[in-house]
């Protein structure tokens, strides 16, 4: 068995779903289990509907609901066989009637709780997985739909739930292999349910995580992540087009790249795959002939010091300093207790005895964080930054990498440097306006000559 996950752009239209059917059909002998994201930008549209509801804009959210139903009906009817159109209409009617009642309830309350966010945003994957299962039958692929909420069991941290792996793996093993032996199993990514049956989600991008969980639970030989790029590249194509494809990379390197901004892979994806030693492939649904990137457990020999450059925009830099803490202990503890209290993750950190510089990308609670920090220190908050991270297993073994980095960046001001926290990366912070120049300079420095075994 293999797991094949298709992202939102891969199932965004009837034409895209037909491409997916052809790809899955070509792999039918491997007993694929298919995990799909919501169609196109459906999740964003669902959250926009919820926002209109809590703002009391009834005509607007009713219109948005009609538009979303029309979109699903229009695209689905092109790929669903005539004899199953009545079933399609019934499923759409049932789902949108439920969704409409839910949205009206939110409008009455005038607030959006994490639990209601999960309930609303789950409809994207619930609809897309059902539509894709019907479409597969139309294209000659016997398929069965499995509601992910029946097999992915999570805790109660709505909007960012964590799987309860023991129970989830048991349900997957009891349900999926027997079905996959006879037909293609289609599931929605991103969604699950708590132990008492309340709909939950794994967080944005969680469909990748779902695919990895399913792969681990059924003992898949391979997990394929189908997206709209040719695999992992040596640079973010939205920042610097023309990067080279990385043929093979280790789980550890892929996790670093994902954490520091590589959007082709959800950071949590690799955890179940690593634990069960299952290879992960990143592939392009628009160019299925491209071999993509293969992620494996062990480091891959490479003549280049760096495998890829990851970057993250809209980063906020926080400076915390206090001369009162000279020769005193507990300064770092007090700082990080503040971020913990406000549930805000810290990405990069640089420290000295009386000062700490750090980055965050979630600023929803920055006002409260700043207020708490100023009780014992001076605080400066600067927005408009970006992180740049060079990732590669050879960084730890190659002398002079830092010299090459900062030689290439001689015309770019660097606000923070982080090396040593991970043996696989060297990271730093620049102004967002300098990001393109920084990545371009580094790419020219490290990827002029390529190891043909690793790069294409």
Chain segment 408-446, per-residue pLDDT in tens: 999 999 999 887 656 788 999 999 999 999 999 999 999
Q: Which of 141-155, 280-294, 409-423 comes out lowest in average pLDDT? A: 409-423
Average pLDDT over the chain, rounded to an integer: 92
- 316-335 per-position pLDDT tens digit: 999 999 876 555 677 888 99
Query: Hey, what domains does the chain have and what are their CATH numbers?
Result: 2-228 (3.40.1160.10), 308-446 (3.30.2130.10)
DSSP class per residue in 3-69: EEEE-GGGGSSHHHHHHHHHHHHHTGGG-EEEEE--STTHHHHHHHHHHHHHTT-HHHHHHHHHHHH
Partners of residue 250 on adjacent β-strands: 296
The token duo for 26 is 């070509």
Residue 326's pLDDT is what? 59
**Residues 79, 18 contacting (CB under 8 angstroms):** yes
- Residues 362, 363, 368, 371: what is their CA dihedral angle, to the nearest 10 degrees? 120
Reported confidence tier of residue 255, pLDDT bands at 50, 70, 90: confident
How confident is the model at residue 327, as a pLDDT? 57
Taking residues 308-313, report their average pLDDT.
94
Q: Which two tokens stand for residue 316?
A: 């906020």
CA distances for 271 relative to 7, 114, 280, 335, angstroms: 19, 25, 11, 29
Q: Please state, in angstroms and as integers, the Cα–Cα distance from residue 362 to each residue in 28, 210, 317, 374, following that order.
A: 42, 24, 11, 19
Tokens 């797991």 belong to residue? 3
Separation CA 117–CA 106 (nearest Å): 10
Q: Is the pLDDT of residue 206 over 90?
A: no
Asked if the model's pLDDT at residue 298 lies above 80, the reply is: yes
pLDDT in tens, 265-280: 776 777 898 889 999 9
Residue 43's pLDDT is what? 94
Task: Convert 133-156 into a string of H (helix), E (strand) and C (coil).
Answer: HHHHHHCCCCEEEECHHHCCEECC
pLDDT in tens, 85-135: 999 999 999 999 999 999 999 999 898 999 999 999 999 999 999 999 999
Residue 157: CA count within 13 A, CB half-sphere: 9
pLDDT of the residue at 305 = 92
> In whole angstroms, what is the distance from residue 454 CA to residue 451 CA?
6
Which pairing describes strands 184-188 and 2-6: parallel, antiparallel, or unpaired?
unpaired
């Amino acid at each position: 068995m293999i797991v094949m996950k298709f992202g939102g752009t891969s199932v965004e239209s009837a034409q895209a779903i037909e491409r997916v059917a052809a790809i899955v059909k070509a792999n039918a002998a491997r007993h694929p289990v298919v995990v799909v994201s919501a169609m196109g930008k459906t999740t964003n549209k669902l959250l926009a509907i919820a926002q209109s509801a809590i703002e009391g804009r009834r005509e607007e959210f009713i219109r948005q609901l009609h538009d979303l139903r029309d979109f699903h009906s229009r695209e689905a009817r092109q790929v669903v066989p005539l004899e199953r159109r009545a079933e399609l209409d019934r499923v759409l009617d049932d789902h949108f009637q439920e969704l409409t009642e839910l949205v009206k309830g939110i409008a009455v309350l005038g607030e959006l709780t994490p639990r209601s966010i999960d309930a609303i945003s789950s409809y994207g994957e619930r609809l897309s997985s059902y539509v894709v299962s019907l479409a597969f039958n139309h294209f000659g692929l016997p398929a069965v739909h499995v509601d992910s909420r029946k097999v992915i069991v999570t805790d109660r941290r709505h909007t960012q739930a964590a799987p309860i792996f023991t129970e989830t793996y048991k349900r997957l093993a009891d349900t999926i292999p027997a079905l996959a032996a006879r037909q293609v199993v289609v599931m929605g990514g991103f969604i699950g349910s708590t132990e008492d049956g309340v709909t939950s989600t794994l967080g944005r991008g969680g469909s990748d995580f779902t695919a990895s969980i399913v792969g681990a639970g059924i003992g898949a030989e391979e997990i394929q992540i189908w997206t709209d790029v040719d695999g992992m590249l040596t640079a973010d194509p939205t920042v610097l087009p023309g990067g080279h494809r990385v043929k093979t990379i280790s789980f550890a390197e892929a996790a670093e790249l994902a954490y520091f901004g590589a959007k082709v892979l959800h950071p949590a994806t690799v955890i179940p795959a690593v634990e069960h030693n299952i290879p992960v492939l990143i592939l392009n649904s628009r160019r299925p002939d491209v071999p993509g990137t293969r992620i494996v457990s062990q480091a891959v020999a490479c003549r280049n010091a760096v495998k890829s450059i990851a970057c993250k925009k809209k980063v906020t830099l926080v400076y915390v300093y206090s001369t009162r803490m000279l020769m005193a202990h507990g300064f770092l503890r007090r700082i990080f207790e503040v971020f913990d209290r406000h549930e805000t993750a810290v990405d990069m950190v640089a420290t000295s005895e009386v000062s700490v510089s750090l980055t965050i990308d979630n600023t929803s609670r920055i006002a409260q964080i700043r207020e708490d920090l100023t009780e014992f220190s001076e605080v400066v908050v600067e927005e408009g930054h970006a992180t740049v991270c060079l990732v590669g297993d050879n960084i730890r073994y190659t002398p002079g990498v830092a010299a090459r980095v900062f030689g290439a960046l001689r015309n770019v001001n660097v606000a923070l440097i982080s090396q040593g926290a991970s043996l696989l990366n060297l990271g730093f912070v620049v102004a967002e306006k300098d990001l393109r120049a920084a990545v371009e300079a580094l790419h020219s420095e490290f990827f002029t000559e390529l190891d043909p075994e690793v790069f294409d």
